Structures are given as structure tokens and as C-alpha cells.
């Protein structure tokens, strides 16, 4: 495709071109190397599995979607709250920041069995797993945005007699929103990881459960179909967050650059 034409395509058009290109490469690899379907099914075989199991996949997609959205809510809430606490308490920041860093050094896959043991096989353990994955990028980015508020803005607010609450609401929070938005974008991209890992370790539903069972039965096409649905869900969530942030952060030049 002509480079000029490619640059004139919107984000959706470029994404569609890349998606079709990847599907084409996948199809060519499966046919060229004559791989058996249980190793690498062709796109038509996966599409057939997706259509035939649409009701089954929809049921489990709703479970995973609820885990992701609830995990996103709790992860964002806890991360933002902790960032605020660390900004207003240097002592708390000195004690908690190393704990946050250490928590990210422990793979979520290692914690998932313990979460299932503590919270059971239901939604709770998956929500906690998703929240843990989301928690750090939100807390770190929001904290960084809050502590990097322009000193002149804070001095002006104090000169005008603004209370601590007013300084926080009208100056610090507004100044930190772009950084918080960056953390939110990362959170939206990684949110499915925690939920699916929790489902792999122990679950009776969800797309991770579907993939695990399909893999055990050598139903690779079903596994690919579940991966496809999960990918669509992740892309849709990220796009939704991106659109919302562009509307909210309308004064930030980078948030409104042309696609």
C-alpha cells in the first residue's frame, strides 16, 4: 500500500490493514508448512469454531468481561487513593514505595494459586488478580503526576488563599490528570492478563477456562477462537479508554493529535 495513502487512513483503517495482514501471514504459514490443525489451524477453521461455539463463548466472555471491569474499578480506586496518600505523607511514601516495587517483582502467576486459596474459585480471586496487575501502573503514574505539579501554580493558589482541599481539587488533580491517563491506558491494556491468569489457575468459567479446557482436549481452533475474542475485548477496552481520555483531557495537545 502506498505510504501516503496509509498515513491518510484513520486509526481504525490502519488497524484493519494490520489485522488483515497478520491473518494473511498466519494463513500462509499454516498452508506453506502444512501444519496439522491441532498445531496451527487455518483462519477458516477458527472462524468455524467461533461461529459454532458462539453461545458458549459469549457466556464465558461475559464472565471474563465482568472480572476485567471490576478489577479495573478496584485497581484504579486503590491505586489513585494510595498515590494521594503518598503525596501528602512523605513517611508513608518512603515505606510504601519499596513495597510497591517488590510487589511487581513477584509474577502474578505465582500469586494466583494463593489468591484462589484465599478468595475461592469464584469471581473474587480473578478480580483481585486483575486489580493487582492494574494497581501499580496507576499508582506510580498518578503519584508522579501529583508530585510534579508546577510549583508556581501551587504558590499562586496559596497566595489567593486556597485551602489544601482547593489546591488539591483545582490544581494538583487537574495537573496530574495526563499522567493518570497514561496509567489508565496501561491498565486497560493489561487488565485482561490478571483475570485470565486467575482463570487458568482455578476457575469454572471465563475465556481462560475455555482456553485451558480446549488445550487439554487438543481443540486448538477453540483455543484460538477464545484468544481472538479476548483480543477484541482488550482492543475495545483500550479504544474506549483512549476516546474518553481525549474528551476529558481536551486541553492536552498530545491527547487530541490527529489520527
Task: Give yes or no: residues 46 and 18 share one domain.
Answer: no
Comparing CA positions, the residue from 44, 70, 185, 47 lying closest to residue 122 is 70
Task: Give yes or no: residues 99 and 226 share one domain.
Answer: yes
User: How many domains, the chain?
Assistant: 2
Q: With 50 as the cut, is the pLDDT of residue 208 above it?
A: yes
Task: Give yes or no: residues 15 and 76 share one domain.
Answer: no
| Residue 254 or 92, more confident | 92
Comparing CA positions, the residue from 82, 64, 87 lying closest to residue 197 is 64
**115 with 125: CB under 8 angstroms?**
yes
Q: What percent of the chain has pLDDT over 70?
A: 90
Task: Give yes or no: residues 184 and 220 share one domain.
Answer: yes
**57 with 50: CB under 8 angstroms?**
yes
- pLDDT score, position 13: 61
Task: Give yes or no: residues 172 and 215 share one domain.
Answer: yes
Task: Give yes or no: residues 102 and 189 share one domain.
Answer: yes
Contacts of 183 (CB under 8 A, 6+ apart): 79, 137, 138, 139, 140, 141, 142
Task: Give yes or no: residues 3 and 103 share one domain.
Answer: no
Q: 10 falls in which pLDDT band (50, 70, 90)?
A: low
- Mean pLDDT for the stretch of residues 176-201: 85
Choose the weakest-confidence range: 2-16, 65-79, 200-214. 2-16
Q: Is 150 helix (H, G, I), strand (E, B) or coil?
A: coil
- pLDDT score, position 1: 46
Q: With 70 as the cut, is the pLDDT of residue 9 above it?
A: no
Q: With 80 as the cut, is the pLDDT of residue 142 above it?
A: yes
Structural domain of residue 174, as residue ranges? 39-256
Task: Give yes or no: residues 94 and 14 share one domain.
Answer: no
Task: Give yes or no: residues 63 and 94 share one domain.
Answer: yes
Task: Give yes or no: residues 24 and 48 share one domain.
Answer: no
Contacts of 92 (CB under 8 A, 6+ apart): 85, 86
pTM (predicted TM-score): 0.81
Q: 239 falls in which pLDDT band (50, 70, 90)?
A: confident
Q: With 50 as the cut, is the pLDDT of residue 161 above it?
A: yes
- Mean pLDDT for the stretch of residues 130-152: 84
| Residue 8 or 110, more confident | 110
Please state, in angstroms and rounded to a whole number, the distance separating the CA atoms of residues 206 and 65.
Answer: 8
- pLDDT score, position 70: 92
The most distant pair of C-alpha atoms in the chain lies apart, rounded to whole Å, by: 75
Q: With 50 as the cut, is the pLDDT of residue 175 above it?
A: yes
Q: With 50 as the cut, is the pLDDT of residue 258 above it?
A: no
Task: Give yes or no: residues 23 and 147 share one domain.
Answer: no
The mean of the pLDDT values for the chain is 81
Q: 69 falls in which pLDDT band (50, 70, 90)?
A: very high
Alpha helices in the chain (DSSP H): 3-8, 11-32, 43-52, 54-88, 90-105, 108-119, 123-147, 151-159, 164-167, 173-201, 207-216, 220-248
Q: With 50 as the cut, is the pLDDT of residue 98 above it?
A: yes
Task: Give yes or no: residues 18 and 68 share one domain.
Answer: no
- pLDDT score, position 61: 92
- pLDDT score, position 200: 82
CATH of the domain at 140: 1.10.3720.10
Amino acid at each position: 500500500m502506498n505510504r501516503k495513502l496509509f498515513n491518510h487512513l484513520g486509526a481504525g483503517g490502519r488497524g484493519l490493514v494490520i489485522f488483515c495482514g497478520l491473518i494473511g501471514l498466519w494463513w500462509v504459514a499454516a498452508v506453506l508448512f502444512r501444519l496439522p490443525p491441532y498445531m496451527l489451524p487455518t483462519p477458516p477453521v477458527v472462524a468455524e469454531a467461533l461461529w459454532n461455539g458462539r453461545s458458549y463463548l459469549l457466556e464465558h466472555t461475559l464472565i471474563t468481561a465482568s472480572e476485567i471491569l471490576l478489577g479495573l474499578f478496584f485497581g484504579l480506586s486503590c491505586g489513585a487513593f494510595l498515590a494521594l496518600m503518598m503525596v501528602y505523607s512523605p513517611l508513608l511514601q518512603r515505606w510504601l514505595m519499596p513495597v510497591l516495587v517488590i510487589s511487581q517483582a513477584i509474577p502474578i502467576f505465582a500469586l494466583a494459586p494463593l489468591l484462589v486459596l484465599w478468595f475461592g474459585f469464584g469471581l473474587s480471586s480473578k478480580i483481585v488478580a486483575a486489580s493487582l496487575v492494574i494497581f501499580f501502573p496507576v499508582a506510580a503514574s498518578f503519584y508522579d503526576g501529583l508530585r510534579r505539579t508546577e510549583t508556581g501554580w501551587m504558590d499562586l493558589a496559596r497566595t489567593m488563599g486556597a485551602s489544601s482541599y482547593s489546591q488539591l481539587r483545582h490544581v494538583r488533580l487537574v495537573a496530574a490528570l495526563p499522567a493518570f491517563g497514561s496509567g489508565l491506558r496501561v491498565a486497560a491494556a493489561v487488565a485482561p492478563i490478571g483475570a485470565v491468569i486467575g482463570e487458568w489457575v482455578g476457575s469454572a468459567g471465563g475465556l481462560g477456562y475455555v482456553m485451558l479446557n480446549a488445550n487439554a482436549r487438543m481443540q486448538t481452533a477453540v483455543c484460538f477462537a477464545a484468544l481472538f475474542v479476548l483480543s477484541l475485548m482488550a482492543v475495545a477496552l483500550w479504544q474506549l479508554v483512549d476516546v474518553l481520555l481525549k474528551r476529558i483531557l481536551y486541553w492536552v495537545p498530545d491527547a487530541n493529535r490527529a489520527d
